[in-house]
Structure 1
């Protein structure tokens, strides 16, 4: 199956961030230009409208009452305009715009100016009004001024809007170019900052990519301590934690494989030797004897493997273990009832103390059963007193619950008790009996540790024997 082409790979983080930054800047530039255009149009229109209104007031000041004809020969009635033809030309003059004007009497009769320049509508209570007008194919801006007097009259002035449009365009171009220059500078600065801030992440990626699969040592501290972002530092810490967990897991797997290979070598060699000896004999009694030995060797090997697996699960279980509140006295009673037939077959007096009161602990039921099974199995195999007796006791001491298994066997001294908590450690009796592999107590200690407790071995106080005590945090303490 062909590999997917590189073009389908997602873009790099710096590219995605850079694109979003540039798009955001372009959007800001567009919105800024729109705001400048709107504000500029408003104030430019105000300035030109004010100038047009001032011209209308100036023209109204030249309108007088009386007489039938003005000096220019235009208009009739009681109103006249004191303007010569030259002054009229000056009034119409503008370097870039064309100006029209008209004066109307109180009855709407034309007095002077340009015919056809109609007056606009002025709202009641107002003296003037601005409006748009089309004349001779041109867009005009018109002001209509109502002048009160005796008699009253209306002045209309209009001019083209080319200068307004030109001024607004220049405002938009200059402001847009200035904003664009600022955005280019800001975008360059932001892109350099993104590149600088992502450089530790790139170095971290390169350091991980160049590592050998067997190299699980923590990352160099310089990669995380010199990072400019706490996020990169936390990522480095998280990677170190992941490497530590993987290293711990691999160590546990190697140790498990080595332990299995070491412990199964002897029983497998014995099974092979017994099978070879049985095949070389013709006596069925020998066959039966050797087969019985093979069965016992297989049982010891199976038990060793079960213990090794339990220990490996305990080591891995330390990563995440959900503890629950449970009644320890009920769980202990159930385990004792299951082991009573075995104790009776061995002639062992298996008793209990302190199970009549409710004791709640924060623990895991499977680990508690594993602890009891290992402790009682050790006591049943090694604690042979006269007569053999095993007592399981449950006590609450302060903020802890103590689960103890006591036997009346030969016991161990303090130095050996500490050594038995280690893997593969066995006492003289265990070596002499040839049972077990020295893993049971180390499994118990690991289980107790996972639940926030511990294991202690001590001589019995009222005679020979050994007391194995597991203390666990009491629920609610």
Structure 2
């Protein structure tokens, strides 16, 4: 089963998506606030300039006089070569300034602002109203306008600054999101590592309390391991019990059949009993090897690795098969080195594999011959079995390791077709 997606990647992508939205929102907010502040500053300066001009107005003999103060226009500055325009209007006539400059709508005591195109340039204008005269009041409108090149330059700087702030926030938030995702998923990684370090037969429940979000998974995993532990125990007990229950009665039946065979004088009856003994042998061997195959499958999931001296393994297996070899007048020769030849493995599985291979050599070897077992230790450790049997005869070796598959020259020999299967499974 292949994994589908990654929780870490999904979490990081979701956090990065939220951070991207927040970064864009921060960019928009910073730019809008700074832009509004810049425009407000320009409006305040324009209003101060117009107010300064309006404050310099006076009446003499019923006539409105104006001495344009230098500071009124100089306060607007000359940054970015902005141009300044002004207009002073009283009683529907122009006192001074640009006659075509359009005033903004204003109220007494409250300046008015407007933005429009003037002489091919975008300008920001302010109009201030003043009433002059002791008796008859005369309303004077003072309008001051300035091009917006400086404001546009400030706007570009604001945009660059807001972009840098948004990008910096996004990068910092992304780095923090990666750290947060790794920290949030660390309990899963620790518990995965703890389970991975366990041996195949270690089915103890998880002892360290996980976070609340992982508690249902940990509880389900503990329950599964408890059920698996019980199932494996029942399987092991069943294999051991089945081996005893099957082999013992068959051995008893075979012994009784041999006694009957010795007492019979009728050739036909003796031949029938011999066939029965052969069938018992085949049944006994098939049942035994099926149980051995089940045992190999069971232990492969619960291997107990420990150092195994192959010399001891060969000696013990040869001793077990010595009676069978003697019946066929076959000599088992052992060519073993003086020094120990140690490998890491499950001794029961290794013995099951070697026992089946050596048993094949004894069964299929001709009478009055020899089987030589040697152990070599070098770049690779090997157990070699040499016999005078018929061999595989060009058969497909991969097919012969399948269950219940036997070669062409085995019809006269009792077997189940599981020997090589067991050896291959152990290998």
**TM-score normalised by structure 2 residue count:** 0.49
Asked which structure has the greater RCO (Cα within 8 Å, sep 6+), the reply is 2
